[in-house]
Amino acid sequence: MTRITLVVKARDGQPVDRASVIVNFIEGHSVIKLGKAVKQTYELRTNQEGQASIPSIPQGKIRIQVIAKAYQTFGQVFDITEENKTINITLNPPQQQYTAH
Q: Which helix (H) or strand (E) holds 73?
A: none
For 13-36, the pLDDT digits (tens) are 899 889 999 988 887 655 455 445
The reply to whether 96 falls in a domain is: no
- Which domain, by its residues, includes 45? 2-91
Cut 0.75: pTM above it: yes
Check which CATH number belongs to the domain holding 43 and give it.
2.60.40.1120
The reply to whether 99 falls in a domain is: no
Count of structural domains, the chain? 1
Distance CA 85, CA 57 (A): 11
For 41-99, the pLDDT digits (tens) are 889 999 999 899 987 878 888 899 999 998 999 999 998 888 888 999 999 988 877 77
The reply to whether 100 falls in a domain is: no
Partner residues linked to 15 by β-bridges = 9
The reply to whether 69 falls in a domain is: yes
The reply to whether 52 falls in a domain is: yes
pLDDT classification of 37: cutoffs 50, 70, 90: low
